[in-house]
Structure formats: structure tokens, C-alpha cells
């Protein structure tokens, strides 16, 4: 209990009927409830809806062969990567289970995530084999299972990562298949912006007259490509992951494509651009998808981009812990910059706790607290459960400090704040149903 508050003798903007939460235990209870119950819009995942067929991953074998776990497995077993890649998915999952869950305690965040999922479905968390889990996932009605997972995770919508140059994916879009309304598209530009030489023949195959050397015609054709896919996918934003040495401005192809094709398209279509910065692809190529690393990047690149393009909105996340504070400061300077999520190697309780606290201290509630990056459906359960726990603690701490300074909040204010962090800050920036 922190002192007595002036609860309304003078005119107050907090509604008369809403009690001020002046008791710390009550305050915690309300924050935990709001964080627990508020539905999220998960603004960056690699999930696909059922309509995408085999690209929609779910079940124990996909969960265990998640690349975060593959990387961890290699630390505890003597096995050449080439041998691992020759194994079937089922064999890989068995090996990962044995290595990380039977022969070792699943203490890492990604391993504990599996435990959280198994527990959520009432499955054994310490079985010697995967028989029970396999039987469970194999006997679920897929559509009902998707609904159930969304409900369990309290996720109302997810944003996919959509690569128009992926033939399997393009096929679904081009056939005009009606996609589950909970799955929104994001137009991913990695191939075009990070691998232009290889993108050129792919674009040419699809009827776009582009050349490796960028000229006016090529720029116009890239814009036509983007426009066609915006019409087809109706993405909520365009996105790209960028290396740690990303600079802006810069004297390279990416800079020209950004300036002459991507940014003008973002402006014309009113689409935000999402920048995910600091990944070092293929640090250990033998590990394939599990072989990427991290590097500290230059936040000034984002500041310059935001300054030069005040009419474009940027969602930004950095992969390096060292860049987080600077990102918060940059966001204070540019209202067209929205920091989001604790990405990939940062999505661990200790780091989410730190980043969320520094964001609250510097930005209040004007950021997007988290995204899941889920690749396999049921990961929504663990990633959101774990994040909610840590975000709730950070908020309790912030409100308690505020209370000690002399300002109590109401339950409704807490709900409003959590809604901003979990969906509204995103919703306001994209053309999602219900957006202003
Ligand atoms: O977190 C991940 O799963 C990474 O492999 C990447 O996909 C990353 O999130 C990205 O979107 O590039
Ligand atoms: Zn991702």
C-alpha cells in the first residue's frame, strides 16, 4: 500500500466510477489480468494458413526441428551437419528430443518452449519417446487445431512473411485462393534488396524486364513488380531483413533500389516498411537455416531514412542487444519510427525484460512490445505465454513506480496501455480492419 491518493475531490479525467488502484497487490493483479487476456496482433511470423498446404507447419516433428533447436543440438552431440541434413524430419526430431530433452535438461528458451507447448496440451513433458505427442498431433482435425491454438495463445491475427519469388507461395496467390482472414500478408523484399544478382533472372522469368545494372527501365519494372504483388497479396507492410553493415545512404544497388523503387512504392501505396537489422547470414553455412549470426548495426542509417522520408512509416527492430537503447532514442526523434519486438536471439526472458523496461522508460507505450517470429503454429502458445509473463513484470514495475510518485491508474487505463502495446500501435499504422 503506497499512501493515500487524492481520488477525486478535485475534477479528475479518470472516470468517477473507475476506482484508482492504490494497492500494489491489486495493481499487480490487474496488470497480470490485462496482459494475460488482451488479444494480440502478432506482427511478424513465418506462419502460413492451411490454404498454403505443406508450407503451414504444425505438430511435434516441425516443432522439434525448429532451427533454434537445431543449432543448440549441435552443441551437445557429435554429429556432422551433412549427416543431420540427410536424416528424415522424423529422425531429426527424435535426435533433438533425445539430445536436448532426455540427455540434457531443456533449460534454453527454445527448449523450454517445447515443454510449455506439451504441457498446454496435457502431454507428457518427460517421455522417453515422441510416440504420445505424435499420436496427439496426428489425430487432430487441422482446422479445429488452428482455431484452438489461436484461442490458447490469445492471438487474434498474425502477419505472415510472404516472398513473391518463392514458387510454391506464388502459386497459391496466383490462383486467387481465399486465405484465412486471421493471416495477413507482408511483402518480403529480401531477395530483391539483398540478392539482386540472383533476383534478376527470377524477375525476368516472371516477365519483368530488369537488368543487373540499374537503369530507369529496371526501376520502373521493379515498381511494376511491387505494385502487382501489392494488388495480389494486399500486404499490411513491406519488409526486409538487413545485415549488420547496412548503411544509409550507401553507394550500392540496395540503396538505389530502396530510394528509387521501394520507398516511392511505400509512399504511393501508403504501406509501412519494416526493417529488421543486424543479421549476419550464413556465419556457419553448414548449419544452413540455423547458421545465421548477429552483429551490431548502425542506428544512424534508420535515423537518416526516417528524416529523409517523413511521409513513410518504418517499423524497426534490431537483432543486437547493443543497438536497443539507440533505437529508443531514435524513436523519440522520429514519430514515423515504430520500434517493434525482441527479435530472434533477443527473444529470451532476461533480454525481453531489459528491452521492455528501457522502451517503457524512453517511449511510454508508443512501441510494439513483441512479435513471435513463430514458424510452427503451436509456437504461438509458448512464445506469447513467455513474453506476456515478462512484459507483465515490466509493466507492474512501471506502474508501481508511478504510484510511488503520486499517480495511480485505473484498470481501464491499464487495459488501454496493454492494448496499445499488443495491437493498437500496429493497427493504427496499417490498413487492417478496424483501423482508423
Ligand atoms: O527468427 C527467425 O526465425 C529467423 O530465422 C529469421 O527468419 C528472421 O526472423 C527473419 O525474419 O529474417
Ligand atoms: Zn522472422
Please, what is the end-to-end C-alpha distance for the chain in angstroms? 40
- Which residues have a Cβ under 8 Å from the Cβ of 355 and sit 6 or more positions away? 321, 324, 342, 346
Give the pLDDT confidence score for residue 14 in this predicted structure.
66
Give the pLDDT confidence score for residue 324 in this predicted structure.
99
Residue 241 alpha carbon to ligand 1 centre in Å: 8
**Which residue's CA is minimally distant from atom 6 of ligand 1?**
344
Instruction: For residues 92 and 89, give the distance between their C-alpha atoms in angstroms, rounded to a whole number.
Output: 5
Say what the pTM is. 0.96
Let me know: does 164 contact 233? Beta carbons within 8 Å: yes
- Which residues have a Cβ under 8 Å from the Cβ of 33 and sit 6 or more positions away? none
Instruction: For residues 236 and 187, give the distance between their C-alpha atoms in angstroms, rounded to a whole number.
Output: 8
What does residue 158 show for φ and ψ, rounded to 5 degrees?
-130, 155
- CA-closest candidate to residue 35, choices 397, 434, 393, 360: 393
Taken in order of first residue, the domains within the chain and their CATH numbers are 31-56+142-429 (3.20.20.140), 62-138 (1.10.2020.10)
Hunting for cell 531483413 — which residue is that? 241
User: Collapsing DSSP states into helix, strand and coil, what is residue 186?
Assistant: strand
Give the pLDDT confidence score for residue 187 in this predicted structure.
98
187 DSSP assignment: E
- Which residues have a Cβ under 8 Å from the Cβ of 186 and sit 6 or more positions away? 44, 159, 160, 161, 162, 235, 236, 237, 238, 239, 274
Pairing of strands 337-339, 183-184: unpaired
**Which residue's CA is minimally distant from atom 5 of ligand 1?**
289
Give the pLDDT confidence score for residue 12 in this predicted structure.
73
Residue 313 alpha carbon to ligand 2 centre in Å: 19
Cα torsion 384, 385, 388, 392 to 10°: value is 180
DSSP E strand boundaries for 10-138: 40-42
What does residue 359 show for φ and ψ, rounded to 5 degrees?
-70, -45
- CA-closest candidate to residue 214, choices 200, 202, 201, 225: 200
Ligand number with the minimum distance to the CA of 379: 1
Q: What's CA 120's distance to the chain center, in Å?
A: 22
- CA-closest candidate to residue 348, choices 323, 328, 319, 377: 319
Residue 33: left (phi > 0), alpha (psi -120 to 50), or beta?
alpha
Evaluate: CB of 241 within 6 angstroms of ligand 1: yes
Give the DSSP per-residue string, 309-353.
Answer: -TTS-EEEEESSGGGHHHHHHHHHH-TTEEEB---GGG-SHHHHH
Evaluate: CB of 373 within 6 angstroms of ligand 1: yes
H/E segment holding residue 293 = strand 293-294
Torsion sign over Cα 384, 386, 388, 394: negative
Instruction: For residues 132 and 130, give the distance between their C-alpha atoms in angstroms, rounded to a whole number.
Output: 6
Let me know: does 220 contact 212? Beta carbons within 8 Å: no
179 DSSP assignment: P
DSSP E strand boundaries for 202-251: 237-242
- CA-closest candidate to residue 127, choices 92, 102, 99: 102
The best mutation among 278, 344, 374 to test binding of ligand 1, ranked by most ligand atoms within 8 Å of the C-beta, falls on 344
Give the pLDDT confidence score for residue 109 in this predicted structure.
99
Give the pLDDT confidence score for residue 10 in this predicted structure.
61
C-alpha cell at 229: 504483388
Evaluate: CB of 424 within 6 angstroms of ligand 1: no
What does residue 261 show for φ and ψ, rounded to 5 degrees?
-120, -55
Evaluate: CB of 163 within 6 angstroms of ligand 1: no
**Which residue's CA is minimally distant from atom 10 of ligand 1?**
241
The best mutation among 166, 241, 243, 291 to test binding of ligand 1, ranked by most ligand atoms within 8 Å of the C-beta, falls on 241
Give the pLDDT confidence score for residue 210 in this predicted structure.
98
Ligand number with the minimum distance to the CA of 345: 1
Evaluate: CB of 345 within 6 angstroms of ligand 1: no
Instruction: For residues 3 and 10, give the distance between their C-alpha atoms in angstroms, rounded to a whole number.
Output: 18
- Which residues have a Cβ under 8 Å from the Cβ of 424 and sit 6 or more positions away? none
Instruction: For residues 174 and 170, give the distance between their C-alpha atoms in angstroms, rounded to a whole number.
Output: 6
Instruction: For residues 270 and 282, give the distance between their C-alpha atoms in angstroms, rounded to a whole number.
Output: 33
Residue 375 alpha carbon to ligand 1 centre in Å: 9
Question: Which residues in the chain land under pLDDT 70?
Answer: 1-11, 14-16, 433-436
Let me know: does 4 contact 360? Beta carbons within 8 Å: no
**Which residue's CA is minimally distant from atom 11 of ligand 1?**
241
Give the pLDDT confidence score for residue 4 in this predicted structure.
46
Instruction: For residues 363 and 190, give the distance between their C-alpha atoms in angstroms, rounded to a whole number.
Output: 29
Amino acid at each position: 500500500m503506497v499512501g493515500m491518493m487524492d481520488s477525486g475531490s478535485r475534477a479528475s479525467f479518470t472516470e468517477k466510477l473507475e476506482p484508482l488502484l492504490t494497492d500494489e497487490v491489486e495493481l499487480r493483479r490487474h496488470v497480470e489480468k490485462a496482459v494475460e487476456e488482451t488479444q494480440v496482433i502478432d506482427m511478424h511470423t513465418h506462419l502460413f494458413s492451411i490454404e498454403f498446404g505443406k508450407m503451414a507447419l504444425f505438430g511435434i516433428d516441425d516443432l522439434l526441428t525448429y532451427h533454434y533447436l537445431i543449432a543448440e543440438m549441435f552443441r551437445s552431440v557429435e554429429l556432422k551437419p551433412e549427416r543431420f541434413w540427410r536424416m528424415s524430419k522424423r529422425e531429426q526430431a527424435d535426435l533433438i528430443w533425445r539430445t536436448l530433452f532426455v540427455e540434457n535438461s531443456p533449460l534454453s528458451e527454445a527448449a523450454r518452449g517445447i515443454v510449455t507447448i506439451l504441457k498446454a496440451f496435457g502431454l507428457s513433458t518427460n517421455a522417453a519417446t515422441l510416440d504420445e505427442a505424435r499420436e496427439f498431433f496426428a489425430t487432430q482435425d487441422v482446422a479445429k487445431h488452428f482455431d484452438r491454438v489461436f484461442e490458447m495463445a490469445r492471438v487474434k491475427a498474425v502477419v505472415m512473411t510472404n516472398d513473391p519469388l518463392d514458387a510454391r507461395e506464388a502459386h497459391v496467390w496466383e490462383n486467387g485462393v481465399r486465405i484465412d482472414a486471421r493471416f495477413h500478408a507482408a511483402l518480403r523484399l529480401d531477395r530483391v534488396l539483398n540478392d539482386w544478382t540472383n533476383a534478376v533472372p527470377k524477375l525476368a522469368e516472371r516477365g519483368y524486364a530488369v537488368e543487373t545494372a540499374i537503369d530507369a527501365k529496371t526501376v520502373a519494372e521493379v515498381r511494376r513488380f511491387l505494385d502487382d504483388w501489392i494488388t495480389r497479396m494486399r500486404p499490411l507492410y513491406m519488409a526486409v531483413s538487413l545485415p549488420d553493415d547496412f548503411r544509409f545512404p550507401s553507394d550500392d544497388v540496395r540503396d538505389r533500389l530502396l530510394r528509387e523503387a521501394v520507398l516511392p512504392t511505400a509512399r504511393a501505396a501508403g504501406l509501412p516498411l519494416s526493417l529488421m537489422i543486424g543479421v549476419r547470414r550464413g556465419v556457419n553455412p553448414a548449419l544452413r537455416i540455423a547458421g545465421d549470426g548477429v552483429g551490431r548495426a548502425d542506428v544512424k542509417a534508420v535515423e537518416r531514412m526516417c528524416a529523409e522520408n517523413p511521409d513513410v512509416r518504418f517499423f524497426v527492430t534490431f537483432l543486437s542487444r547493443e543497438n536497443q537503447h539507440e533505437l529508443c532514442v531514435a524513436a523519440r526523434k522520429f514519430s514515423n519510427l515504430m520500434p517493434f519486438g525482441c527479435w530472434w536471439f533477443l527473444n529470451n526472458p532476461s533480454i525481453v525484460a531489459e528491452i521492455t523496461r528501457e522502451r517503457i522508460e524512453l517511449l511510454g507505450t508508443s512501441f510494439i512490445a513483441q512479435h513471435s517470429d513463430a514458424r510452427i503454429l503451436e509456437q504461438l502458445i509458448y512464445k506469447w505465454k513467455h513474453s506476456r509473463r515478462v512484459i507483465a513484470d515490466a509493466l507492474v514495475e512501471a506502474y508501481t513506480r508511478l504510484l510511488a510518485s503520486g499517480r495511480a491508474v485505473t484498470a481501464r487505463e491499464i487495459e488501454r496501455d496493454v492494448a496499445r502495446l499488443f495491437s493498437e500501435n500496429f493497427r493504427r499504422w496499417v490498413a487492417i480492419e478496424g483501423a482508423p
